[in-house]
Structure 1
Amino acid sequence: MDHLQAMRVFTRVVDANSFTLAADSLGMPRATVSTIIRKLEKHLGARLLNRSTRRLSLTPDGASYYERCTGILADVDDAESSFRDRARGPRGRLRIDAPPYLARLVLMPRLC
């Protein structure tokens, strides 16, 4: 089982308060989302969600796990985005101070 994916699925189910809405937003079949949550609960040895035909709610263990998952996933996303930003190269405004004659003769023709 991919623990990171299971955490993402679990947090999406809690945020959406629905297996169906979470499955739609993740682009997965509902049965897959349900299976991932069931395997996660089995792996952890704790029930995370109380399910009924009309309602979905967190257990105390589920609430604790949700808080930890959101922190972990935020850290993972932050770490990955820092490398994506570095791969793009330098960005921003470049300011050059140069004498007018040098700017006119050298820099301006090269800007285009």
Structure 2
Amino acid sequence: MDRFNAMRVFTRIVELGGFAKAAESLHIPRASVTILIKQLEAHLGVQLLQRTTRQVSTTPDGKAYYLRCVSLLADLDDAEA
């Protein structure tokens, strides 16, 4: 699993409010997004997202991880610019 890609997918889910919207914006299948998030959660050993049939929200661990990801990805983008 590419952790930076997983972080980008995770942050997009949080920002857009759902797996389908994130998949569409990233031009990847929704199933790939679901698998990637499951792998990320297994790797970290925590649940990042609370899923219902109508919405997705962050868990407390997910909120903390989101804030770290945003910072790390911004630094990565700056380094590559």
TM-score of Structure 1 vs Structure 2, range by shorter chain: over 0.9
* Deviation (angstroms), 1:8: 0.3
Cα displacement string for residues 7-40 of structure 1 (whole angstroms, at most 9, x for unaligned residues):
0000000001010000000010000000000000
Instruction: State the secondary structure of the residue aligned to 2:47.
Output: coil
Q: Residue 4 of structure 2 aligns with which residue?
A: 4
Looking at structure 1, the residues matched to 69 and 59 of structure 2 have their Cα atoms a distance apart, in angstroms, of: 15
Q: Residue 93 of structure 1 aligns with which residue?
A: none
Unpaired stretches in structure 2, ≥5 consecutive residues? none
Instruction: State the secondary structure of the residue aligned to 1:57.
Output: strand
Q: Residue 67 of structure 2 aligns with which residue?
A: 67
Letter in 2 for 1:39: Q
Q: Residue 34 of structure 2 aligns with which residue?
A: 34
Instruction: State the secondary structure of the residue aligned to 2:57.
Output: strand
Q: Residue 52 of structure 2 aligns with which residue?
A: 52
Instruction: State the secondary structure of the residue aligned to 1:50.
Output: strand
Looking at structure 2, the residues matched to 55 and 77 of structure 1 have their Cα atoms a distance apart, in angstroms, of: 29
TM-score in terms of structure 1 length: 0.72
* Deviation (angstroms), 1:43: 0.3
Q: How many residues align?
A: 81
Looking at structure 1, the residues matched to 8 and 56 of structure 2 have their Cα atoms a distance apart, in angstroms, of: 17
* Deviation (angstroms), 1:55: 1.4
User: CA-atom RMSD, angstroms?
Assistant: 0.4
Looking at structure 2, the residues matched to 12 and 25 of structure 1 have their Cα atoms a distance apart, in angstroms, of: 8
Unpaired stretches in structure 1, ≥5 consecutive residues? 82-112
